[in-house]
Amino acid sequence: MEKIIDENTQGNTLTLEARPDNSRKLYIESYGCAMNFSDSEIVASILADQGYNTTNVLEEADLVLVNTCSIRDKAEQTVRKRLEKYNAVKRINPKMKVGVLGCMAERLKEKFLEEEKIVDLVVGPDAYKDIPNLLKEVEEGRDAVNVILSKEETYGDISPVRLGGNGITAYVSITRGCDNMCTFCVVPFTRGRERSRDPQSILNEINDLAEKGYKEITLLGQNVDSYLWYGGGLKKDFKNASEMQQATATDFAQLLNMAATAHPKMRIRFSTSNPQDMHEEVLHIVAKHDNICNHIHLPVQSGSTRILKEMNRQHTREEYMKLIDRIWEIIPDCSISQDMIIGFPTETEDDHQETLSLMEYVKYSFGYMYKYSERPGTMAARKFEDDIPEETKSRRLTEIVDLQQKHSALRTASFLGKTVTVLIEKESKKNKEEWSGRTEHNNVAVFPKSTYKAGDFVKVKITDCTTATLIGKAVGYSENN
């Protein structure tokens, strides 16, 4: 999963409806990608069965967990600052237990217990079911660490609780791990090999969300396009490739079609896609169903074929552009967003200009752009010197961000005078008299509340806009309600 929610915020504190018989309190924060937020819902579900209700008051917690990100050094430093805060509270409440979950836990392993004295347990992304046992180890005064990666665990048998959400939108994880060994990325090392969930467990989860009144889901994975479930079992259950081919298989296009067909009034998104694995059939399924959003997050990382090769991205600049052309042939009004890494080792000014020219070709609706951050253990860290001066990285990043701002403004302005369907998600932060929601193109839109309520699909005529937000007036309910 290459998209980052927002590593500059303080993270999301997650709470759910209390069980009356539970007597202990869990405080859990999540940082990084959407998968971490989804994983925290799994953890809370496991601990709810162990007597824990969630709380958003740190000082009253019996157990504090932070779900961490390792994709950039800045993300790890954010977590360390939060651990300092926990430490201060723990000095007042010594009975409080503190645990680190997720990718940073997997990367540092036992070192976390040595470096961070307030950490009582360290749990990798595939070991969440072992948390109850690890808590017993803590109570008995032993180190509690489980960072064993699994080739099978998908948590498909656990019904996630929906934490701190709006009751309208939800994540549904369909894959875990990643087999794409991009040289800059820690995900294959912190989340393990790629595996897919049983499609029936995914559909059951979506059915449950629909029954509870949710209006939108996002099918989630490090690389959703490589989703593949063999009806006869997991890959390990087959003796050879021929036997595997003879088994009934469900790929991502089929899964997407099943979900959209089963719930025609539920809006469906998916993230993240990988250019090398996106199949044309997926595009046809998106075009076929009105309830699948016309938005694709398609990380490119660089516009230079030479740099893409050094990154071990399995696509060239030309192949990426050809895929963009095909997307717009099949889904003419599809919005496309990007991830980019600026200042990857050996990046020249010509490479940088190639990225800028690719951006001019695509004119992305929005994007996530970061300076290269060397991550310990990755191939890039072993193979390359981080040789791009910081001032050069900063200047190139500024140029890319400025160009993206220009393109975002252009894409947003294209909706002026048009009527779009908005799913109301929450009250606008800037104006309590306005609702905020998203269009199928993933644009944020705000408009006066009137008689509408959260969870309604509303037709909104766009009268103004900023670089990132559509501004309009509701003209009636959408047929999706």
CATH number of the domain to which 238 belongs: 3.80.30.20
- Domain total of the chain: 3
> What pLDDT was estimated at residue 28?
95
Helix (H, G, I), strand (E, B) or coil at 373: coil
Q: pLDDT tens across 52-93, in order?
A: 999 999 999 999 999 998 888 888 889 989 998 998 999 999
Q: Is there a single domain that holds both residue 142 and residue 174?
A: no
Q: Which residues contact 150 (CB under 8 A, 6 or more apart)?
A: 126, 192
Length reported for the chain: 481
Tell me, yes or no, whether 162 lies in a domain: no
Tell me, yes or no, whether 7 lies in a domain: no
Q: Is there a single domain that holds both residue 239 and residue 138?
A: no
- Name the domain boundary from 114, 146, 178: 146
Dihedrals phi, psi of 291, to nearest 5 degrees: -90, -5
- Name the domain boundary from 411, 430, 455: 411
Q: Is there a single domain that holds both residue 111 and residue 232?
A: no
Tell me, yes or no, whether 159 lies in a domain: no
- With tokens 């290459």, the residue in question is 2
Q: pLDDT tens across 391-435, in order?
A: 999 999 999 999 999 999 999 999 999 999 999 999 999 999 999
Q: pLDDT tens across 103-135, in order?
A: 999 988 888 777 656 789 999 999 999 999 999
Q: Is there a single domain that holds both residue 114 and residue 29?
A: yes
Q: Is there a single domain that holds both residue 431 and residue 404?
A: no
Q: Domain containing 75: what range? A: 12-146
Q: Whole-angstrom distance between the N-terminal and C-terminal Cα of the chain? A: 32
Q: Is the dihedral of CA 453, 455, 456, 459 positive or negative?
A: positive
Tell me, yes or no, whether 344 lies in a domain: yes
Q: pLDDT tens across 9-30, in order?
A: 345 555 555 677 888 999 999 9
Q: Is there a single domain that holds both residue 134 and residue 237?
A: no
Residue 238: pLDDT band by 50, 70, 90 thresholds?
A: low
Q: Which residues contact 89 (CB under 8 A, 6 or more apart)?
A: 58, 59, 64, 96
Q: Is there a single domain that holds both residue 177 and residue 305?
A: yes
Helix (H) or strand (E) holding 62: none
Q: pLDDT tens across 141-167, in order?
A: 888 999 999 989 999 988 887 876 789
Tell me, yes or no, whether 427 lies in a domain: yes
The CATH number assigned to the domain holding 471 equals: 2.40.50.140
For the cut 70, the answer to whether the pLDDT of residue 286 exceeds it is: yes
Tell me, yes or no, whether 107 lies in a domain: yes
Q: Which residues contact 449 (CB under 8 A, 6 or more apart)?
A: 433, 434, 435
Contact 67, 33 (CB under 8 A): no
Mean pLDDT (the chain, rounded) = 91
Q: Is there a single domain that holds both residue 131 and residue 209?
A: no
Residue type, 166: N
For the cut 60, the answer to whether the pLDDT of residue 244 exceeds it is: no
Residue type, 254: Q
